[in-house]
Amino acid sequence: MSIAEVQAFSPSSGRLADHTTPFVRNEWYVAALSEEIDRTLRDRWLLGVGVLLYRKSDGSPAALKNRCPHRSFPLSRGTLDGDEVTCGYHGLTFGPDGACTRIPSQEVVPDVVRTRSFPVVEQAPLIWIWMGDPALADPTTIPEHPWLDMPDYTHVGGYQHVKCNYVRLHENVLYLTHFPFLHGEALGDVAYAQAPFEVAAEGNSVRITRRLEDHPVNAGYGAAIGNLGHRVNRTSESWFKTPAFHVAHATVEDLEGGVEGRTDFHFKILHMFTPESATTTHYFWASARDVKIDDQAFSEAGRKRTVSVFLEDVEALERIEAIWTREDDDFQEISVAGDRAGLLMRRIIARRAAQGA
Amino acid sequence: MSIAEVQAFSPSSGRLADHTTPFVRNEWYVAALSEEIDRTLRDRWLLGVGVLLYRKSDGSPAALKNRCPHRSFPLSRGTLDGDEVTCGYHGLTFGPDGACTRIPSQEVVPDVVRTRSFPVVEQAPLIWIWMGDPALADPTTIPEHPWLDMPDYTHVGGYQHVKCNYVRLHENVLYLTHFPFLHGEALGDVAYAQAPFEVAAEGNSVRITRRLEDHPVNAGYGAAIGNLGHRVNRTSESWFKTPAFHVAHATVEDLEGGVEGRTDFHFKILHMFTPESATTTHYFWASARDVKIDDQAFSEAGRKRTVSVFLEDVEALERIEAIWTREDDDFQEISVAGDRAGLLMRRIIARRAAQGA
Amino acid sequence: MSIAEVQAFSPSSGRLADHTTPFVRNEWYVAALSEEIDRTLRDRWLLGVGVLLYRKSDGSPAALKNRCPHRSFPLSRGTLDGDEVTCGYHGLTFGPDGACTRIPSQEVVPDVVRTRSFPVVEQAPLIWIWMGDPALADPTTIPEHPWLDMPDYTHVGGYQHVKCNYVRLHENVLYLTHFPFLHGEALGDVAYAQAPFEVAAEGNSVRITRRLEDHPVNAGYGAAIGNLGHRVNRTSESWFKTPAFHVAHATVEDLEGGVEGRTDFHFKILHMFTPESATTTHYFWASARDVKIDDQAFSEAGRKRTVSVFLEDVEALERIEAIWTREDDDFQEISVAGDRAGLLMRRIIARRAAQGA
């Protein structure tokens, strides 16, 4: 793609998703970490909708619209008995399918009295939700993320609330030139920012692969591998899979003998973005590695480092969202060559949104 | 009214008052408690209008629009001299009829320089205001509330600011099935919630009468009467009189001999709702009884209990208002048979609002 | 102008500037005090636009739009190297003319990649900025304010953020009848409020001259001059020069012999209003005098007194702005004879705004 082609994207806000684009509803999003949901009634806003999350008697998760269809009281302020939830205002009771099973002040319960239920699928440590047309909810389309289960990998993870639109979070992880400027050199230096990259689109997914050859290992991966000071080939494959899911495959190939005979090391960073509203996002993440997999102390230190880095992203993106909110002029973003993957992603989201929720 | 008829109300937001309905201005509303108003300049927002309240030299209340017609400075930040108020910005002076009597920088005061005055009527402990067409202000249409003066009654009262639309507060007190679910069983248990009721509309007022026969007295009334453990007939008559005024008549008939030979006991709960804005309300209330009328300690304990209960209503209604504000979808309330009185009330308010302020 | 003529202004909100009027962009505004700007990257919102202010290597000020044209990150969060600013997100670098000089992830920098730069002129202690068409920026049109430099004058100054529209601040200083009502008698008593005045319009400027003859000197000027108790002639010439600049010339002529043989004393109060948004204003001010020019302690006391008075104006104007924001009715201001200068000023601003930014 030439610069001219890239520029041609920019003024077309009608074609590039941004904070004004409707949500893509026919998609699986992470609703919660498995550990967050139990027999208490928990509420969370997802794609602009208040959702009630709880576990049924058999341990499986359930999700209802968290708004009594009668007078809008949040069902999460009611009570759970077996699999049924009773509203804490006038006492209407609803099953996990959304149907009303009792109205205290009358004997007959009309069929029309029901709240919405949402398909949910647990793949520990994650619980996925489908906010679109239930007839289209196919669990086999949940993006694969095997590294959270594989015996030769370990991972850490977390959650962060972010006051910015989810599209900007996707764009952030598709353009890693920001590493040295926003995060300092531990993640990647200016040579990494300038490394050549290739972009590939496949259906509704986009991949950008950046490769930096024969360069000193960055501090972050060097600490994990134990090869600080060695020269390595580093490959970063950032993959936008769905509006809800991005995975980065990072591979480090040690050019100076490696560590204890091993020369290839793998890192998988999962970014799971669930819109809360047009300008806020639930950011679930996990970072898996196939090195030092039994070193709990290292994992904990790595978790803290990752949180610290993500908070830098969050601060930057919240500042950007605030500028969009405050500055009421005819600002048009200008894109550069490195934005190609992000722009393709934004075209995909805009197209899917236009196709209807 | 059949379920089908009740359902037929629901989708007709054009016919049922809600937070989008204009205020009914041609009506008397409680502006303040008598004890709140004195020779200081007090401001309060009523029906979306900033109002200045004070007492004239003769002790009678006055109400002006609290916005200098010159440059919008709040008159409540000025000074009171006799019956006249001088603006604290450029010194214009206004009488209690709203006419300007002095402009410091010129000798002639044109007739056009005046602020609005509002008819006010004191019926201690309440001061009523008319925010509509002054030509229609007839004090004889102020709803009667004799129990605040009658020698065989005593009462407690109070004020609560609520962050919800006043129509929801009316609906709340017309559908008492919420008692056990929101307040616990002291006010009424599930049998009370399920008790049969009758609805009657008369002109622009609506009454719902709920009767629970031969049932243990509820803890609240039992404590007042001193007949805890006795079986009673309980009648609750909830009466929407005007958009500003609701009175509940509760009667307890002791079926096990009563107390000291007396078997009938009466409680009158007055709810006076004055909209502050579309989403906030001044809630004035009084609770009168014809039992233990000289027991000050019991009155004080009762006042505290009532405040505690009303704060539960307030919390629930504020949560509901917040959901209406936040969730931007095509939510349609579903009504049940017990809503009949509330729906009739909402039709009355919608019709009166449509007839013009 | 007759009362009838003045009234004729009032309903014409289309012709009188208020908080809904677009900003007059083709004008010099004070961006900052000289002492505020150095080699750090400072951001300030001016006329609704986020602006980055800094000094170049040669010490002269520079102003850029504080929003990276790439992905809206505030440039003030980046780094300054020589005269160039590097964005703290993806590392794009911009010169003080707004042109991009480096994009880390590509070799060619297209001309289209640039941020806006604004003409700035320093006339210590003030830095002026032009937010309109750069081709029209003529530094000779910056209003004169020689008293900040003249050897026979001394001055104090300051800055105040105000939550009101700048037009109301102009109106405030054109109608000094508010002195005794808002500030007490130290600035001027009721006789001052009632003193005759003349209004003169010249092109796009307006002047109102108020003259109070043979009256005891007011406490404020009396303290500066040292002639408390003397009768004086006082002339106040309040001059709206531009939407950004107002100067008041106050002259006191001592009628009882003066102080040490001198009878004429001069005060120059500069009000520099720079809109931050439609409802907030940067208020820069300076107060110069040709008496007690070497008395530092008196200057400091005077500065404190002036701040105290301005905070009374600020409180009043913020209350007024809040009423305009909150009260959603068809309020129409009524004007009086003393408003003539303010109304002319509002016509000028409305006309200039209508002529285009």
**pLDDT tens figures, A125-139:** 999 999 999 999 999
| Chain B residues 104-143 with a CB less than 8 Å from chain C | 104-106, 108, 110, 112-113
Q: How far apart are CA B42 and CA B55, in angstroms?
A: 10
Tell me, what's the pLDDT at C262?
Answer: 97
* C91 contacts: CB under 8 Å, gap ≥ 6: A177, A178, A180, A181, A190, A193, C102, C103, C104
Residue A8, Cα to own-chain centre: how many angstroms? Answer: 28
Q: How far apart are CA C175 and CA B108, in angstroms?
A: 18
Least Cα separation, residue C141 to chain A (angstroms): 27
Residue type for C144, please? E
| Neighbors of chain B by Cβ distance (3+ pairs < 8 Å) | A, C
Q: Are B206 and B239 in contact (CB under 8 A)?
A: yes
B contacts of C194 (beta carbons < 8 Å)? 104-105
Coil/strand/helix, residue A310: helix
Report DSSP letters for B20-59, one per residue: TSPP--SSEEEEEEGGG-SSS-EEEEETTEEEEEEE-TTS
Tell me, what's the pLDDT at C330?
Answer: 82
Tell me, what's the pLDDT at B329?
Answer: 75
Residue A112, Cα to own-chain centre: how many angstroms? Answer: 35
Q: How far apart are CA B174 and CA B210, in angstroms?
A: 10
Tell me, what's the pLDDT at B152?
Answer: 96
Question: CB B103 to CB C181 under 8 A?
Answer: no
| C93 → chain A, closest CA residue | A181
Residue type for C320, please? I
Name the residue with tokens 């002269």.
C60
Least Cα separation, residue C259 to chain B (angstroms): 32
How sure is the predictor about A20, in pLDDT bands with cuts at 50, 70 and 90? very high
Tell me, what's the pLDDT at C38?
Answer: 98
**Residue A2 above 70 pLDDT?**
no
C contacts of B49 (beta carbons < 8 Å)? 327, 329
Q: How far apart are CA B36 and CA B87, in angstroms?
A: 22
C contacts of A210 (beta carbons < 8 Å)? none
Q: Which of C71, C73, C81, C85 to mutate to test the interface with A (most CBs of A within 10 A)?
A: C71
A contacts of C112 (beta carbons < 8 Å)? 7, 334
Name the residue with tokens 């209604």.
B317
Question: CB B106 to CB C338 under 8 A?
Answer: yes
Q: Residue-wise pLDDT tens for chain B (357 aa)?
A: 344 444 444 434 448 999 999 999 999 999 999 999 999 999 999 999 999 999 999 999 999 999 999 999 999 999 999 999 999 999 999 999 999 999 999 999 999 999 999 999 999 999 999 999 999 999 999 999 999 999 999 999 999 999 999 999 999 999 999 999 999 998 999 999 999 999 999 999 999 999 999 999 999 999 999 999 999 999 999 999 999 999 999 999 999 999 999 999 999 999 999 999 999 999 999 999 999 999 999 999 999 999 999 999 999 999 999 999 999 778 999 999 999 999 999 999 999 999 875
Is C86 touching A (CB cutoff 8 A)? Answer: yes
Rg (alpha carbons) of chain A, rounded to whole number: 23
Q: Give the one of A171, A177, A323 whose C-beta lies nearest to C104's C-beta.
A: A177
| A71 → chain B, closest CA residue | B333
For residue C177 the two structure tokens come to 């009848």
- Which residue from C128, C355, C318, C340 is spatially nearest to C240, judged by alpha carbons? C340
Is A20 touching B (CB cutoff 8 A)? Answer: no
For residue C341 the two structure tokens come to 């200068």
Q: How far apart are CA B33 and CA B19, in angstroms?
A: 25
| C328 → chain B, closest CA residue | B48
Q: How far apart are CA B185 and CA C17, in angstroms?
A: 61
**Measured between alpha carbons, how far apart are the two ends of chain B, in Å?**
30
- Could you tell me which residues are beta bridge partners of residue B236? B210, B250
Tell me, what's the pLDDT at A12?
Answer: 42
| A106 → chain B, closest CA residue | B337
Q: How far apart are CA A64 and CA C50, in angstroms?
A: 43
Q: How far apart are CA A182 and CA A164, in angstroms?
A: 17
Tell me, what's the pLDDT at C328?
Answer: 73
Question: CB A327 to CB C70 under 8 A?
Answer: no
Q: Are A37 and A30 in contact (CB under 8 A)?
A: no
Is C88 touching A (CB cutoff 8 A)? Answer: yes
B contacts of A71 (beta carbons < 8 Å)? 168, 171, 320, 333
Residue B313, Cα to own-chain centre: how many angstroms? Answer: 14
Report DSSP letters for C231-247, one per residue: EEEEEEEEEEEETTEEE
Coil/strand/helix, residue A337: helix
Is A8 touching C (CB cutoff 8 A)? Answer: no
Q: How far apart are CA C258 and CA C253, in angstroms?
A: 8
Residue type for A109, please? V
**Cα-Cα-Cα-Cα dihedral of B212, B214, B215, B216, to 10°?**
130
This model of the complex carries an ipTM of: 0.92
How many of the other CB atoms lie within 10 Å of CB of A153?
17
User: Which one-letter DSSP state was computed for residue A78?
Assistant: S
Coil/strand/helix, residue A320: helix
Q: How far apart are CA C219 and CA C234, in angstroms?
A: 13
Tell me, what's the pLDDT at A102?
Answer: 97
**Residue A214 above 80 pLDDT?**
yes
C contacts of A331 (beta carbons < 8 Å)? 67, 72
For the full predicted model, state whether its pTM sits above 0.90: yes
Can you list the residues of chain C whose pLDDT is less than 50? 1-14, 357
Residue C1, Cα to own-chain centre: how many angstroms? Answer: 28
For residue C316 the two structure tokens come to 């009043």
Is A182 touching C (CB cutoff 8 A)? Answer: yes
Q: Is A226 left (phi over 0), alpha (psi -120 to 50) or beta?
A: left
**Residue A14 above 90 pLDDT?**
no
Question: CB B90 to CB C181 under 8 A?
Answer: yes
Name the residue with tokens 């990150």.
C73
Question: CB A338 to CB C106 under 8 A?
Answer: yes
